[in-house]
């Protein structure tokens, strides 16, 4: 995908890169009434290249290998365990323009990244779900991983850290017409250098859907994202990183954001291929975490879709 690409709808996380992936799975099936209904291993490999590097035949900037094990048990209970190893390869010339702030008025010095820190990063992830009840379903996930802390200007690995993440989701269907999903995700990144916290994010989410009839439904979603981040530091000295150009340097100051997003949608699907969707969304900025007192609107959006399938 070219660097100049700009999506007019949807969300594209990265541009100017080429991504390749391969996956393999094997499943054993248990007999009728067996405790273990199915299980098996899998392997995933992937690589990400800068677009020009890919077509020039050079190696990937990011490479990952994942081994995983899946198991499904009687009663709609299952689990997933995975281990992965990731490597980042970045040229020293890409760090030009990044400096380390001087001490007590001293001049800033060029940042020298220790690329060996990012050549073998490990991750463990465990996910489980319980879907044995008709009206209640539960899923939970936890993970630990070694990861780079990227600079704020170019997205290059600068210092190393550890991330702890957790997620809990609950699905409810109290009646045949009403269903709801509630979930919360949390992630915290600690610096390897001294164990201090670099960033954290907590994101609760709620979704409800009501089916008025077979063709007509309404859906509402609310999500609150509380995020905070510290400055990116030089892993050797602990001083802040700077980006300098034409003698002017800027630093990445700590930040904290609290965003509330709400969405409503009404859908009408009288027959396959015939749909009418009308939706509205608003994003607001809160002044403090879960304050809900001075919400400032930032963006509003209206979504309309009408489709009809002609049958010949």
For the cut 70, the answer to whether the pLDDT of residue 61 exceeds it is yes
160 or 105, greater pLDDT: 160
Query: Is there a contact between 55 and 79 (Cβ–Cβ < 8 Å)?
Result: no
More confident residue, 6 or 241: 241
User: What pLDDT score does 259 carry?
Assistant: 94
Average pLDDT of the segment spanning 300-306: 94
User: What is the C-alpha separation between 280 and 269, in angstroms, rounded?
Assistant: 18
Q: Domain residues of the chain, as ranges?
A: 75-307
Question: What integer is the mean pLDDT of 138-162?
Answer: 92
With bands split at pLDDT 50, 70 and 90, how would you rate the model's confidence at 301?
A: very high
- Reply yes or no on whether the pLDDT at 212 is more than 80: yes
What's the pLDDT at 251?
Answer: 83
How many other C-beta atoms lie within 10 A of the C-beta of residue 72? 19
The pTM assigned to this predicted structure is 0.86
Q: How many CA atoms lie within 13 A of 32 on its CB side?
A: 0
Phi, psi of 266 (to 5 degrees): -115, 130
% of the chain surpassing 90 pLDDT: 62
Q: What's the alpha-carbon Rg for the chain, to the nearest Å?
A: 24
In the predicted structure, residue 10 carries a pLDDT above the cut 90:
no
**Confidence band, pLDDT 50/70/90 cuts, at residue 29:** very high
Range with the lowest mean pLDDT among 1-10, 19-28, 137-146, 247-256? 1-10
Which residues does residue 203 pair with via DSSP β-bridges, in sequence order? 185
Token pair recorded at residue 87:
């490597």
Mean pLDDT computed over 50-72: 91
Joined together, the tokens standing for residue 9 give 């709808």
Predicted local confidence at residue 138, as pLDDT: 97
13 has pLDDT over 70: no
Q: Taking a C-beta distance cutoff of 8 angstroms, is the pair 58, 48 a contact?
A: no
Q: Distance of CA 181 to CAs 29, 34, 88, 137, Å?
A: 31, 31, 37, 9
Q: What is the pLDDT of residues 170-187, one digit of tens each?
A: 999 999 999 999 999 999
- Could you give phi then psi for residue 93, rounded to 5 degrees? -65, -20
From CA 219, how far away is CA 213, in angstroms rounded? 13
Mean pLDDT of 93-105: 85
Q: What is the pLDDT of residue 89?
A: 87
Q: What is the mean pLDDT of residues 91-112?
A: 85
> How far, in Å, CA of 266 to CA of 279, rounded?
6
3-state secondary structure the chain: CCCCCCCCCCCCCCCCEEEEEEEEECCEECCCCCCEEEEEEEEEEEEEEEHHHHHCCCCCCEEEEEEEEEEEECCCEEEEEEEEEEEECCCHHHHCCEEECCCCCCCCEECCCCHHHHCCEEEEEEEEEECCCCCEEEEEEEEEEEEEEECCCCCCEEEEEEEEEEEEEEEECCCCCEEEEEEEEEEEEEECCCCCEEEEEEEEEEEEEEECCCCEEEEEEEEEEEEEECCCECCCCCCEEEEEECCEEEECCCEEEEEEEEEEEEEEEEECCEEEEEEEEEEEECCCCCCCCCCEEEEEEEEEEEECCCCC
What's the rounded Cα separation, in Å, for the pair 116 and 72? Answer: 39
- Give the mean model confidence (pLDDT) for residues 152-177: 93
For residues 195 and 184, the answer to whether their CB atoms sit within 8 Å is no
Residues in the chain: 312
Evaluate if residue 42 carries a pLDDT over 60.
yes
What is the pLDDT, as a whole number, of residue 7? 55
Query: For residue 223, what pLDDT is reported?
Result: 96
């Amino acid at each position: 995908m070219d660097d100049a690409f700009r999506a007019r709808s949807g969300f594209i996380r990265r541009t100017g890169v080429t991504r390749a992936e391969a996956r393999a799975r094997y499943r054993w099936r248990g007999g009728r009434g067996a405790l273990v209904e199915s299980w098996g291993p899998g392997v995933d490999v992937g690589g990400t290249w800068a677009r020009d590097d890919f077509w020039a035949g050079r190696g990937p900037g990011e490479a990952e290998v994942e081994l995983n094990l899946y198991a499904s048990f009687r009663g709609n209970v299952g689990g997933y365990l995975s281990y992965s190893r990731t490597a980042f390869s970045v040229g020293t010339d890409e760090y030009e323009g990044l400096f380390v702030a001087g001490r007590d008025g001293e001049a800033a010095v060029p940042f020298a990244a220790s690329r060996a820190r990012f050549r073998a990063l490990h991750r463990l992830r465990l996910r489980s779900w319980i879907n044995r009840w008709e009206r209640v379903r539960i899923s939970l996930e936890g993970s630990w991983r070694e990861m780079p802390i990227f600079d704020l200007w170019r997205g290059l690995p600068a210092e190393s850290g550890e991330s702890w993440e957790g997620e809990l989701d609950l699905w409810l269907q109290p009646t045949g017409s009403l269903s709801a999903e509630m979930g919360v995700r949390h992630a915290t990144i600690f610096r390897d250098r001294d164990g201090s916290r670099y960033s954290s994010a907590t994101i609760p989410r709620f979704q409800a859907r009501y089916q008025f009839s077979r063709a007509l439904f309404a859906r509402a979603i609310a999500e609150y994202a509380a995020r905070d981040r510290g400055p990116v530091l030089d892993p050797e000295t602990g001083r802040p990183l700077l980006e300098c150009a034409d003698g002017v340097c800027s630093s990445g100051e700590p930040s904290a954001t609290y965003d509330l997003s709400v969405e409503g949608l009404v859908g009408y699907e009288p027959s396959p291929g015939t749909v009418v969707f009308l939706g509205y969304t608003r994003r607001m900025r809160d002044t403090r975490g879960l304050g809900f007192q001075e919400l400032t609107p930032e963006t509003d959006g209206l979504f309309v879709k009408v489709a009809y399938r002609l049958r010949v």
